[in-house]
Each structure stands twice: as C-alpha cells, then as structure tokens.
Structure 1
Amino acid sequence: MIALIRYTFATALHTQRYLAPVLLFTGLMGVLTVNGSGSLPPAYASSAGALFVCSTWLTVALMSLDDTAQRAIMVVAAGRSLSVLLAAIGTTLLSCLVLMVFGLFFPLWMGSYDVRPVDFLLGTEAQLTCALAGIAIGVLCSRLVFRRQGYALAAAIALVMVTVFTKNLPPVNQLFRLMATSSNSGDLLAPAGRMLVVSAVVLAAFTALTQYIATRKD
C-alpha cells in the first residue's frame, strides 16, 4: 500500500494534476477568510467548505491519472483492484491533511480572531469532515464509475450542490449551520464529531459502491 501511495504521489506531482484544485483551495481561502474578525467557527466553516470543493476535485483528478491499460498493470502488480483504489484515496487524504494545516493557520494570519485551543480542534474536525465528504463524492464520480468526463463533472457538481445547500443534510450542510450559529467552539465539538463519523461512513459506503461498479465493468 505504501508503494502504491508513493507511486500515486509521484505521478500526481509529475503530471501536475493537483495544481488546479490546490489553487482553487487557496483562492477560496483568500476570498472567504481575509480580514475576518471575531470568533473562529465561521472562519473555519469557510476553510472546511474550501477543502470540501478541493478534495472532490483532487480525488477525481488523482483517480484519473492512469489510462485503462496502465490501471490494469497496476492492478496486476498490486494483486487486487481494491488496493489501487485505496491508494488513490489515501493519497488524496494525505494531501488534504497538508492543506488542513494551511486552513487552520491562514485565517489567523490574515484576520483578527479570538483564538482558543479548542478552536483548533473544532477546525480540524470540520475540515476533516468536509475532506472525507469531498473524497467520497470524488470517488463516486471518478473514471471507475463514469467513463465520460462530462457525465462525471455533471454528477460531481450536482452532488456538491446537494450536499452543501440541502437544509440540515448531514454532514456538510448541517455542520455549516452549526458553525454559523454558534461562536462557542466547545459546544460544537460533539456535534462536529458526529458529522465526522457520518462522513467516514459515507466515504466507506461510496468506496464499496465504486469498487463494486468498477469490478462489474471490468
């Protein structure tokens, strides 16, 4: 698995497929969090939202690195197709962890916030929740499920819009509403933790569904 993740990282760096989603993330961070003030939960909700969009795009990009023939070679070398799929997910998740650090500290640098240690824990929970949700959507909208890129793009946009704007839909919309209506990070830790669990379950379910569809197609 480690070798597969290293290969995926190396291929992503070589092809620069990561560049567009990362630039989108930094651009959204600049627009949404610059010159902010007050409590941190709303700012971290913005950071989480930016990471949600970025992780979706990044997942689709990383899972489209190899053409059909190259993927077949990787599957044979790895021994099973699930390992290749998990390696792509692991690579995206590790990339999101790096971006999370930027998402935690960039608002503090560019704004004037009341900072408490519990705020960092909430920000980590929120960003990880949105990263897992974004990866889940990216996996389901990847080349393994949609052979045509236009269909994959339309499905990804639709799922992102539904996830963000459907009122009280867990985990993303509900998390955003909680963080927008409360300035006390301590009160939000437990609800945010529940949304994190929901995101992890959704990712596991979407991964299993993608693997099933890809196996049937192969």
Structure 2
Amino acid sequence: MTALLRYQAALLVRSHRWLPPLLLYGAFLGIGVQTGQPILDSLGYAAAALLPVAAWLVRVGVTQEPAAARDCAAAAVGPGRAHLASVLTGLGAALVLGTAGTLFVAAVSDPHTADHRQEVPVPEATVAGLLAAVACALLGTAVGALCNRPLLRRPGWAIPSTMLAALLVSVAGASPANAAVSGLVDGSHSGAVPMPLLPLALTGAAAAGATALACVLSSRRS
C-alpha cells in the first residue's frame, strides 16, 4: 500500500490538478478570514471550507490515472486496493491543506470570544480547529468516494453530484461536519472550547463506509 500511495501522490503532484482545489481553499480563507477576528469563529469557517475541497481532491485522486495505467495497477494489486490508494491520496492532500489552513488561522486570529470579553486558549482552540477540519475532510472524502467512479463514471453526473452533495452535507442540521463547525461558533460566544470528538467519529465512520463501498464496486466493475 505504501508504494501505491507514493505512486498516487506522485501522479497528483505532477498533474498539477491539485492547484484548483488549493486556489479555492485559499480564496475561501482570503474572503472569510481576516486578521483580528475571533479565533473560534475563524477556525469554524476554515474547517467548513475544507469539506468541498476534500471532495474535489478525492475526485482528482480517483480520476487522475489514464485508463491503461489504472488497469495495470488494478491487475498488479487488485482494483479495490488501487482505488483505496487513490481515495487516501485525495484525503491526505485535503488534510495537508486543512492543517496548514488551521495553523494560519490560529496565528492571525484574535484569541478572544466574539464579544472580545473572554480570552480563548490558543492551543486548545487550535486542537479543536484541527479536529473539526479533519471531520470536514472525512465527510468530504465520503462525498467524493460516493459521487465519482466507480459509482458515477460520467463527469456530467459526477461533478454536479459532488458539488450538490458537498453543499447539502455542509448545511444539513444532522450533518456531523455541521455539528463540528457549529460547536466552534457556539464556543466563540460562550468561551468554552469544544472538542468535536463525536462528529469526528461519525465522519470517520462515514468515510470508511463510503470508501469501502467504492472499493467493492471497483472490484466488481473492473
């Protein structure tokens, strides 16, 4: 699996298809995060912005190989393992972006509540922001795994489905990613720093289930 991940990561870096998601995430942060804003509000915004970016990066990961190269990899290690490596590569790229974005936001934000009356501990807030970012990246990975090949092979269906699903799971009240982000925003008003452990567990289960389904179908449809 390590060799597969290195292979997929090298493909991603050389293809430069990571650049549009990176620019999108940078645009989100540039528009929504400003120096001196309350730290928990800004961390929540940065985490939420990562969800569609993660879905996009997973789409890049599962579609970047030419068909002939994909068939060779599937013949060598099995289509399920090959597909798993492509999904994990997209998730890994999203986690790198999310970590960098969270650390940047923590560095430029004001460590106080929204009313600027209560101080917020930066280390705890940063950890909470990282956990929320991971939760959003995991749910974005689930979206990317379910809305692209092998379930949806045609770009005309896959791309709008990915965009719509990412939007829905970002704003739905029952979404664990929404819960993680809302917890940070609520903490910005109360002064308490929430650790989104339950949303993280739920999004992890969703990502694992969606990826497992995609890998099984990849094996059957190869």
Check whether TM > 0.5: yes
Matched with 1:129 is 135
Sequence identity percentage: 26
Matched with 1:86 is 84
| Cα distance change, pair 93–29 in 1 and its aligned pair in 2 (3 A) | same
| Number of residue-to-residue matches in the alignment | 213
Shift of 1:105: 2.3
Give a deviation string over 1:36-56, Cα, whole Å, max 9, x none. 423x22111111112111111
What stretches of structure 2 of length at least 5 have no aligned partner? Answer: 113-120
Q: Which amino acid aligns with 2:72?
A: I
Contact 2:60/2:90, CA 8 A, preserved across alignment: no
Matched with 1:170 is 175
Mapping for residues 60-209 of structure 1, pairs under 5 Å: 60-78=59-77, 80-114=78-112, 115-167=121-173, 169-183=174-188, 187-189=193-195, 192-209=196-213
Shift of 1:170: 2.5
Determine the C-alpha separation between the residues in 2 that align with 1:116 and 1:126: 15
Describe the SS at the equivalent of 2:91: helix
What stretches of structure 1 of length at least 5 have no aligned partner? Answer: none
Shift of 1:109: 4.2
Determine the C-alpha separation between the residues in 2 that align with 1:98 and 1:132: 13
| Cα distance change, pair 60–207 in 1 and its aligned pair in 2 (3 A) | same
Determine the C-alpha separation between the residues in 2 that align with 1:185 and 1:62: 39
Task: Give the structure-1-normalised TM-score.
Answer: 0.90
Note if 1:213 corresponds to 2:217: yes
Give a deviation string over 1:123-145, Cα, whole Å, max 9, x none. 11000000111111111112221
Task: Give the structure-2-normalised TM-score.
Answer: 0.88
Contact 2:111/2:122, CA 8 A, preserved across alignment: no
Contact 2:134/2:200, CA 8 A, preserved across alignment: yes
Give a deviation string over 1:73-113, Cα, whole Å, max 9, x none. 001122x1221122112222322232123212222444433
TM-align CA RMSD: 1.8
